[in-house]
Chain A
């Protein structure tokens, strides 16, 4: 009897989990499916299609005309730089505010973390004026500055927490050995923060990788445009060809999904650590 109950429970459990998985995945399967057909095959009553002929050329078009490699490179470069800057700046500031003795430490720390409350899009209008006055529009800085600025509060918050939990003894020993502050920060403390750094890095990456509102406002030439632009540009350029639009969407989504699936254990851990703390 009890054995039966457990079996039924298990079946229900699986049904629920599989159903949610289908809901989460099916739209993406649908996307890939239609991206391999031709446009007029879209007008069907079926949920999925079996393309008459698999049209890989949709992907070739998407890859070539969508400037895929160029945008991918930009995305990667800008995000990596943003991550490095956020990590370095937040470690430095968090260490100074958390460990060092000065009157304003509390205030500065609060100020830096307060950025979390500011809605990033409220700064679109004034920042546009500021960047154009400093001739920063259409340069890498127009993206890098806001990306760093709006990931910094979270990084700062997490780093403060992590540094707080580090034992002071190591630093004391280092001071005895005659280490300066900079060496303590970068050679003693930073290596200890490895798991936290990966958390901050992952959070920053996830925050900024898919951002496009600022990119579309501050950039004009393709020089620094990032991956989401493939999609935006394509829908105009190939407005009469749905299948190619689907291909470019699938292609744009691919790098992040592939990296996530490969590194999912680390990313999950990082996100969980960051989110629960934050």
Chain B
């Protein structure tokens, strides 16, 4: 019964958010709006939250009118993480009628650019951040993010170590949203129909790619237009090459500006070999996120390389059911002679939220932040919407009705013998990040040699 109530509440929030998205300001008569196609659920919903929230609402509406500006990297508000975020926002506004939350959402790349512009002169109150040096170091040095009290979050169930990336001098400045794992998504049905097998080694992967090409399909859809997914991919290879010494090798290289370590060289060479073998789609180095993902979700590519946050593909209504129901995942296969085993995976706590230090409504913003991170909000809703793994303990929310994909990802994380931490491009200063994300395009498409590539990213560290 309880579950049903929650579900209804969710539907209510969703419907409301959809209506809000449609620009209808007339919230007194949602049923009259033609955009709502699930009328019964909505009518039910329209009554329920009213009674459920009465007491709470009455207690909190007395506050002054507050507007919190939220700047988000999730422009798609109807699927996956964006939907979860919007749902929590709508619930919060329903419970605190004096609070209005205005969302500005941009694509990842555009987001990061604009975030930096904001960081220079006045930020929105709540922002998406990444707990990684390339993104956070300069921002924290400039003191634009508000310090959070770590004690407050003891019972929020954050996974051990997941807060580390968001700290500076032992002070906490942000909270992680996800545990991200680099994955190969693949189309299981396509694999079965063609007798393809999930590869256990990179050699097998190469053979598999040749087979897929022979069938006239793109083996792996790779978002190479934005440099970062390919850098994460390189991280993944490097983890298989160097095993648990990955973090040391990278931090060493970044400190000295010398990237000629044999492991880095070998990993880069493998990436180049992959690209040379035609593993990625034609024009991968100029295509963006959406185009790449669509190649996979439209059945043009057999695999798709991206982080676990895209697991919500399995629930995305825009994707044809015969594809979305068949999406499965595996991690980077092992490299011959590499030190990393099958269960040494590339994973990190990357994305999250923070509050602006100069926010005029700092208290309210932190209150909202804490609300979002209540274990039964971000973490739970994320899980229910198939958005990979959160950075909090999710065991309480296992429903048994998870998608196959979610179960797989859960197992991958459960079986992991080691996790890599921050991907290579995010380990250095932002000038390094800019350099490697551009240079990696050149090295993978063969217009820069591996040595030149390593030298160029080394220079950017100095």
- The residues of A with any CB-CB pair to B shorter than 8 Å are 39-40, 43, 64-65, 67, 70, 128-129, 132-133, 137, 216-217, 220-221, 232-233, 235-242
Contact = CB atoms under 8 A, between A and B. Distances in A.
A221 B125 CA distance: 13
Interface stretch (B142-150, B312-320, B339-347): B312-320
Given A43-B300, A64-B22, A133-B121, A240 B35 contact: no
Given A128-B121, A216-B110, 18 more contacts: A39-B294, A39-B298, A64-B23, A64-B35, A65-B22, A67-B23, A129-B121, A132-B120, A132-B122, A137-B121, A217-B117, A220-B69, A235-B107, A236-B107, A239-B290, A239-B293, A240-B79, A240-B290
A221 B104 contact: yes
15 contacts: A39-B294, A39-B298, A40-B320, A64-B23, A64-B35, A65-B21, A133-B121, A137-B122, A216-B114, A221-B69, A235-B290, A236-B107, A237-B76, A237-B105, A238-B76
A129 B117 CA distance: 9
B23 A240 contact: no
Contacts of A67: 23
B435 to A, nearest CB: 20
A159 B243 CA distance: 71
B305 to A, nearest CB: 17
Given A220-B104, A240-B293, A40 B298 contact: yes
Interface in B92-108: 102, 104-107
A242 B23 contact: no
B392 interface: no
Interface string B277-297: 000000000000110011001
Given A43-B298, A64-B23, A128-B120, A239 B289 contact: yes
Given A40-B298, A65-B21, A241-B318, A236 B121 contact: no
B338 interface: no
Contacts of A220: 69, 71, 104, 114, 118, 124
Chain B residues touching A, range: 35 or more
Given A43-B300, A64-B35, A239 B121 contact: no
Contacts of A238: 76
A30 to B, nearest CB: 17
B22 A129 contact: no
B77 interface: yes
Interface string B295-311: 00110100000000000
B294 A242 contact: yes
B236 to A, nearest CB: 23
Contacts of B320: 40
A236 B22 contact: no
A64 B19 CA distance: 11
Nearest to B35: A64
Contacts of B300: 43
Nearest to A70: B23
A133 B121 CA distance: 8
Nearest to B74: A236
A34 to B, nearest CB: 14
Contacts of A233: 75
Contact of A236 (B106, B122, B318): B106
A239 B73 CA distance: 14
Contacts of B75: 233, 236-237, 239
A221 B316 contact: no
Nearest to A242: B294
Contacts of A65: 21-23
B102 A221 contact: yes
Nearest to B295: A43
A236 B117 contact: no
Contacts of B122: 132, 137
Interface in B63-97: 69, 71, 75-79
Contacts of A39: 294, 298, 318
B72 to A, nearest CB: 11
Contacts of B121: 128-129, 132-133, 137
Nearest to A66: B23
A20 B67 CA distance: 54
A240 B120 contact: no
Given A43-B300, A236-B76, A236-B106, A129 B290 contact: no
Interface string B7-46: 0000000000000011100000000000100000000000
A229 B210 CA distance: 42
B297 A240 contact: yes
A51 B110 CA distance: 33
Contacts of A40: 298, 320
Most buried by B among A65, A236, A238, A242: A236
A43 B75 CA distance: 25
Nearest to A220: B104
